[in-house]
């Protein structure tokens, strides 16, 4: 549902809205009151905003936050490019987040990044230090050294245009990366079907982010991050071990670690919502 109302030179909206930002069209949805502190949820690689659960967003907004979630380019309803030839880098993905905030009239926001979203949040904090109010880094690692995608997340030739097969594959991958609190099969199936049905080109979604160059290295600059930072990490994350979270805490001044017991490499499951939402609200107060 489109809403042309404006606030602070940006846009207000109800439901999903397409917003021009950084040369692409991004699909965005907000929860809560625009007058509350803004919290931008930055999803992981190849992940549309559907992975930020509706109820999770509502609960966070219920704590007095203006919650913003969006589809990265090449995910969900946002602009898609031909699979295998992304004409952008991860720097552009970070700039998309800033362009979205500009379109909403938000100069600053609290950034909550999951996995690749955590890398993007780190890049924003280093390259544009006046924009973040705080960082919440979930299931991620110190920003890659640059020069290419992370070797742990390479695309494969699977045909993602077959709805049934694609949904089954998404469920399987979620279970493989998850932990004991990962949603059950019916819940995962509903989510996977929603992801498939909302995606302009799911093959582009699961391919292009991993082919996009990381851009100039920033890890050696993490010591310059000055905003409050909390690192949340699952104790059974099979993609990024706890050592990666501990490295972030060492390299970002003042960062603190919050362990999510029994959580894998996944968006926060309902079992830890009280902990995660409580920490975000405390961190963004």
179 in Cβ contact with 266 (< 8 Å) = yes
Helix, strand, coil % (nearest 5) of the chain? 40, 15, 45
CA 146-150-154 angle, 5° bins: 140
State the Cα–Cα distance between residues 143 and 149, nearest whole angstrom: 11
44 in Cβ contact with 36 (< 8 Å) = no
CA 250-251-255 angle, 5° bins: 65
Instruction: Select from 180, 190, 195 the least CA-distant residue to 270.
Output: 180
Gyration radius from the chain CA atoms: 17
Q: How many CB atoms lie within 10 A of CB 153?
A: 15
State the Cα–Cα distance between residues 285 and 281, nearest whole angstrom: 6
State the Cα–Cα distance between residues 232 and 267, nearest whole angstrom: 11
Q: Catalytic residue positions?
A: 115, 237, 265
Structure token digits, residue 53: 């659960």
DSSP code at position 269: P
State the Cα–Cα distance between residues 159 and 62, nearest whole angstrom: 40
Q: How many CB atoms lie within 10 A of CB 145?
A: 12
């Amino acid at each position: 549902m489109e809403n042309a109302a404006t606030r602070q030179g940006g846009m207000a909206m109800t439901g999903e809205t397409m917003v021009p930002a950084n040369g692409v069209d991004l699909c965005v949805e907000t929860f809560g009151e625009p007058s509350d502190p803004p919290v931008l949820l930055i999803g992981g690689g190849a992940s549309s905003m559907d992975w930020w659960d509706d109820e999770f967003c509502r609960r966070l907004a219920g704590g007095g936050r203006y919650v913003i979630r969006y589809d990265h380019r090449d995910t969900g309803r946002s602009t898609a490019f031909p699979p295998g030839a992304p004409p952008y880098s991860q720097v552009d993905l970070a700039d998309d987040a800033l362009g979205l905030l500009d379109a909403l009239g938000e100069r600053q926001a609290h950034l909550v990044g999951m996995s690749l979203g955590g890398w993007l949040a780190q890049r924003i904090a280093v390259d544009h230090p006046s924009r973040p109010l705080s960082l919440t880094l979930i299931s991620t690692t110190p920003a890659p050294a640059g020069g290419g995608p992370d070797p742990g997340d390479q695309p494969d030739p699977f045909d993602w245009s077959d709805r049934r097969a694609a949904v089954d594959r998404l469920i399987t991958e979620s279970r493989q990366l998850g932990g004991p609190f990962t949603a059950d099969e019916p819940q995962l199936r509903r989510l996977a079907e929603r992801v498939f049905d909302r995606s302009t080109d799911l093959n582009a979604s699961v391919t292009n982010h991993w082919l996009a160059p990381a851009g100039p290295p920033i890890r050696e600059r993490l010591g310059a991050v000055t905003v409050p930072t909390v690192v949340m990490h699952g104790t059974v994350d099979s993609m990024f071990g706890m050592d990666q979270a501990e490295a972030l805490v060492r390299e970002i001044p003042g960062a603190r670690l919050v362990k999510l017991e029994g959580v894998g490499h996944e968006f926060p499951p309902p079992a830890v919502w009280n902990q995660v939402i409580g920490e975000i609200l405390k961190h963004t107060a």
